[in-house]
């Protein structure tokens, strides 16, 4: 098996910390959505408890093949009815804590796949 060094382009996570995620040189301290070619700087402003079907419709509009949902400092699972539209559209969803979702986003983006990370921050 041959391995090849790949270089991701577009929006990449360049750092994470308690309550923040950095994309390029910009830090975000509120929920947002990032895809290789798109950044929605305001998403799920009410936090995990206020997630709605409309929040997931916003992510669906980006037409990703997979969505990484970062649920904050710990992994929590929203009710499946909230993200049902993603499943019905054939879009995969993985749920993890926000730092893990940020790391995973970079890996999948580097593969050239159409990924979106929907990240909840305090």
Task: Give pLDDT tens digits for 46-61.
Answer: 999 999 999 999 999 9
**Boundaries of every domain in the chain:** 29-119
Mean pLDDT of 73-100: 97
Say whether pLDDT at 101 is over 60: yes
Say whether pLDDT at 1 is over 80: no
pLDDT of residue 16: 96
CATH code of domain 29-119: 3.40.1230.10
| Residue 122 confidence class, pLDDT cut points 50, 70, 90 | confident
pLDDT of residue 4: 47
Distance CA 122, CA 79 (A): 20
């Amino acid at each position: 098996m041959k391995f090849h060094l790949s270089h991701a382009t577009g929006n990449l996570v360049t750092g994470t910390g308690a309550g923040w995620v950095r994309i390029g040189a910009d830090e975000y301290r509120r929920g947002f959505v990032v895809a290789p070619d798109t950044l929605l700087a305001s998403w799920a402003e009410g936090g995990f408890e206020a997630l709605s079907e409309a929040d997931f419709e916003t992510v669906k509009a980006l037409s990703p093949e997979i969505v990484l949902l970062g649920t904050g400092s710990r992994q929590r699972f929203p009710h499946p009815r909230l993200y049902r539209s993603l499943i019905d559209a054939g879009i995969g969803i993985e749920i993890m804590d926000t730092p893990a979702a940020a790391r995973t986003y970079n890996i999948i983006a580097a593969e050239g796949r159409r990924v979106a990370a929907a990240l909840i921050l305090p």
